[in-house]
Amino acid sequence: MSKGTLPLNDLASGAGRVDVLIRATMAALLTSHGLRNNVVVVLHLMGGPGPPRRIKFDGQIITGIHAEERSIAGIIKKVIATPLPPIGHWQEVSRGLSHSGGNLDTTLDEWKGTPLVALDAQAPRLWKEKSRLPMSSSNTVQAIDFVLSDDQALDVSNLPDARLRSLGDTWLQGHLAIGIVHFLLDEGVELNLGEAK
């Protein structure tokens, strides 16, 4: 919904599936210990009463974002309760949070001059495929177990046989790390499973 009162107790249906937008915002902006300062998220609210509204989260300067859906829903609720700015005019609501009228075409016009990638499961892969995971004789991926921790570093002293591996230099939230591992396994990307530790 682009206008009105966002029902915080019914984000999945009464709010027009704003829960999906919130999870996308969290996945794009949040790391395990902070925010990605090189990410800007633009949500397009196209439903309910009123014209389309865009909400922009600027990871470089935003404050007050927490890894909790209801908290971000509260931010969106505050924004949609305010009068809608004109199309193309970004009005700041708080540091790093602004909104504007407009739809996807408006945003795409603002993004002209930069590479644009539209993700589609039926399109060619975003990455260059190199090799496949090791397969057993039944042509299925061999069993692999994964261990991850919460926001604290994993105590590996009681995991003597573990192969310590990273998904990158940035500490990710657990659900994002799981998503990346599933992606790598689903696509058959060769894993670095050499010697333990």
Report pLDDT digits (tens) over 10-40. 666 665 677 778 888 998 898 888 898 889 9
**Cα Rg of the chain (Å, integer):** 21
Report pLDDT digits (tens) over 49-66. 789 999 999 999 999 898
H runs (alpha helix) in the chain: 18-29, 69-80, 104-110, 174-187
Please report, for the chain, the start and end positions of each structural domain, with discontinuous segments joined by +: 18-110, 125-197
pTM: 0.77
Query: Cα(16)–Cα(49) distance, rounded to whole angstroms?
Result: 12
Quickly name the fold that domain 18-110 has.
Answer: Alpha/beta knot (3.40.1280)
